[in-house]
């Protein structure tokens, strides 16, 4: 068709236009050129190990102007492959890339020092698209690796009776890549984290489906020290943190990030900054996320390794059946002299329900029962005496708690001595439950400056022995339209202030 038109144009005696049109066509054609992976001899039989064939196809396309490597419906087994510049893996509906279950079919990248099925290092204009699936079959691979470790032919300390995370294959690990597109695909069952984008620029993730609960440390997505990220319209079900932002490098930062319209379930946290938080996190706009049936917190921001967290806006959150709702924490774990900070955090339009039971009961790789005895933990904003959390605004928030805190089961009073006895635990792995029993059922705020609550409704469904809010070492702030509902609690003092100055309660 196009050739015919070009021909006609030429016949009309407009060689300039023709040439221009031809060049345009040529460039479009080059950038969109499709290659079938089966054309290179890959077999979609679910048995043949296609590693080398797929690699050759990627290399060929990258060396010949770029294009898409297309996988038609079928099952393609592979070990480690490296994606190269200007190549997109396009998985059509029904196409599945299956990870080999043999750990020796995977490579530990010499720079990254982690293992993955699909690596890309220092590449540009790459992607994985289409409605197909990447299935790591990680449970089998991880257990095969355990066997080799017990046989003595593979070295690993088997900490917690599992191979270390970096020795188990992830599905995808891209490092220092620019213009990365991940759309429409399904990612399943890695042996470690699912997909990591580390120090990438311009990462676009849209409409992906992640089912990632086959083995320990199965995160949903890890975005590490990236600059310019759009993550939207995606669904995550993961054994470990789902929407997970990290900062591995003290000299890098994860910044300029938009997250929109995502749904997540986790046996750990929903939206998480950290735990590794060396450089930090800056300029995030997160809008319209739903977290459900999640063991730990819907939102966890952890600055525990010397990194910063600033200019973070979270708008419109539904958090249903999650163990906690908001957990902001400064710690001092691997800071190595760097000063952690957290400031200018806006969280608005949140509706949340916290259950009395275990939110992830029945899932494989359930979160661990720990930090007992404690009654249902409150949301918390907890800095350190030397590192205060600054300028946090919570607006239009409704959290429904079960209440029913029983002082005979676990008790933390609100006397100055009781409150001062709560340990700081700066080096402890940050979890909302780390203090065991906390003295409030709704919010616990410690070592903070500039805390604003506006239109915050905290509901306890049963009477609780604790007050709704406890503040300790808070400097400045205001509580406007903060409403508590708790049965049989008329006249109860719901806000306790300790060592606190300049907080106005309207």
Partner 1 sequence: MKVYKIIIINALLLWSFSLTAKEYKASLFGAVSDGITLNTGSIQYAIDYISENGGGRLVFYVGRYLTGSIQLKSNVVIELKEGAVLVAAPSIYDYDGPENRNALLWAEKQDSIGVVGKGVIEGQGTLVLESIKTQRKKGYLKENIGSLCPALIYMKGCNSITIEGINLREACGNVQFYNGCTLVSISNITTVSTSVENSQGILLSECDRVNLSDSFFDTSGKELSQAGASKNLSIVNNINKDGKKIR
Residue 57 CB, nearest approach to partner 1 (Å):
8
- Output the smallest distance, CB 244 to partner 1, in A: 30
**Hey, CA dihedral for 394, 328, 366, 284, is it positive or negative?**
positive
Are 348 and 291 a contacting pair, CB within 8 Å? no
The distance of closest approach from Cβ of residue 264 to partner 1 in the complex, given in angstroms and rounded to an integer, is 34
DSSP assignment of 97-138:
EEEPS-GGG-EE-TTT--EEEEEEES-EEEEEESS-EEE--H
| Residues 444, 497 contacting (CB under 8 angstroms) | no
Token readout for 206 is 């849209």
Nearer to partner 1, 43 or 201 (CB): 43
Residue 149 CB, nearest distance to partner 1 (Å)? 13
Shortest spacing between CB 123 and partner 1, in angstroms: 20
Q: Which is nearer to partner 1, 57 or 312 (CB)?
A: 57
Nearest to 299 by CA among 225, 380, 235, 390: 380
Q: Which is nearer to partner 1, 106 or 292 (CB)?
A: 106
Q: What is the spatial distance between Cα 321 and Cα 367, in angstroms, rounded to a whole number?
A: 14
Residue 41 beta carbon to partner 1: minimum distance, rounded to whole angstroms: 5
Choice between 55 and 297, CB closer to partner 1 = 55
Please tell me the total number of residues recorded for the chain in this structure. Answer: 506
Which one, 144 or 500, has the nearer CB to partner 1? 144
Q: Of the two residues 72 and 105, which places its CB atom closer to partner 1 in the complex?
A: 105
Backbone φ and ψ of 311, nearest 5°? 55, 65
CA 492 to the chain's CA centroid: 39
Measured CA to CA, the distance from residue 313 to residue 315 in angstroms comes to: 6
Closest separation in Å from C-beta 106 to partner 1? 8
Binding-site ranges for partner 1 (CB under 8 A): 39-41, 47-49, 52-53, 55-57, 60, 79, 100, 102, 104-106, 144, 148, 151, 153
Q: How far apart are CA 360 and CA 239, in angstroms?
A: 9
400 φ, ψ to 5°?
A: -100, 115
Identity of the residue, 147 or 504, whose beta carbon is nearer to partner 1 in the bound complex: 147
CA–CA gap between residue 326 and residue 190 (Å, rounded): 28
To the nearest whole angstrom, how small is the minimum distance from the Cβ of residue 338 to partner 1? 39
Contacts of 466 (CB under 8 A, 6+ apart): 375, 378, 405, 412, 414, 438, 439, 440, 441
Nearer to partner 1, 100 or 195 (CB): 100
């Amino acid at each position: 068709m196009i050739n015919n038109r070009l021909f006609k144009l030429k016949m009309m005696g407009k060689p300039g236009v023709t040439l221009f049109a031809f060049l345009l066509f040529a460039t479009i054609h080059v950038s969109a050129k499709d290659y079938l992976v089966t054309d290179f001899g890959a077999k979609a039989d679910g048995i043949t190990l296609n590693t080398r064939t797929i690699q050759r196809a990627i290399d060929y396309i990258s060396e010949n102007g770029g294009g898409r490597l297309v996988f038609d419906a079928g099952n393609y087994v592979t070990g480690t492959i490296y994606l190269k510049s200007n190549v997109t893996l396009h998985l059509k509906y029904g196409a599945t890339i299956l990870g080999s279950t043999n750990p020796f079919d995977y490579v530990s990248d010499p720079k990254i020092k982690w293992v993955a099925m699909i690596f890309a290092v220092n590449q540009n204009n790459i992607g994985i698209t289409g409605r197909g699936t990447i299935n790591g079959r990680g449970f089998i691979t991880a257990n095969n690796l355990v066997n080799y470790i017990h046989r003595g032919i593979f070295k690993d300390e088997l900490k917690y009776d599992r191979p270390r995370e970096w020795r188990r294959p992830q599905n995808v690990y891209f490092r220092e890549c620019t213009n990365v597109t991940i759309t429409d695909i399904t990612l399943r069952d890695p042996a470690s984290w699912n997909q990591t984008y580390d120090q990438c620029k311009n990462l676009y993730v849209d409409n992906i489906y992640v089912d990632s609960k086959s083995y320990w440390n199965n995160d949903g997505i890890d975005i590490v020290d990236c600059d310019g990220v759009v993550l939207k319209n995606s669904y995550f079900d993961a054994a470990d943190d789902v929407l997970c932002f990290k900062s591995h490098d003290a000299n890098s930062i994860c910044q300029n990030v938009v997250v929109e319209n995502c749904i997540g379930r986790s046996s750990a946290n929903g939206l998480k900054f950290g735990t590794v938080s060396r450089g930090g996190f800056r300029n995030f706009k997160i809008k319209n996320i739903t977290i459900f049936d999640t063991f730990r917190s819907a939102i966890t921001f952890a600055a525990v390794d010397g990194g910063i967290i600033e200019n973070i806006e979270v708008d419109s959150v539904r958090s249903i059946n999650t163990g906690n709702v908001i957990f902001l924490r400064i710690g001092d774990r691997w800071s190595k002299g760097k000063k952690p900070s957290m400031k200018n955090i806006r969280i608005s339009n949140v509706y949340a329900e916290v259950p009395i039971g275990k939110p992830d009961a029945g899932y494989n790789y359930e979160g661990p029962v720990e930090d007992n005895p404690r009654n249902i933990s409150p949301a918390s904003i907890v800095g350190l005496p030397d590192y205060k959390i600054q300028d946090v605004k919570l607006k239009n928030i409704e959290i429904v708690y079960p209440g029913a805190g029983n002082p005979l089961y676990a008790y933390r009073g609100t006397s100055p001595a009781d409150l001062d006895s709560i340990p700081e635990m700066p080096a402890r792995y940050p979890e909302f439950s780390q203090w065991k029993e906390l003295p409030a059922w709704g919010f616990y705020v410690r070592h903070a400056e500039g805390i604003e609550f506006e239109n915050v409704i905290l509901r306890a469904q049963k009477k609780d022995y604790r007050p709704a809010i406890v503040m300790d070492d808070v400097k400045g702030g205001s509580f406007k339209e903060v409403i508590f509902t708790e049965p049989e609690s008329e006249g109860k003092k719901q806000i306790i202030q300790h060592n606190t100055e300049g907080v106005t309660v309207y």
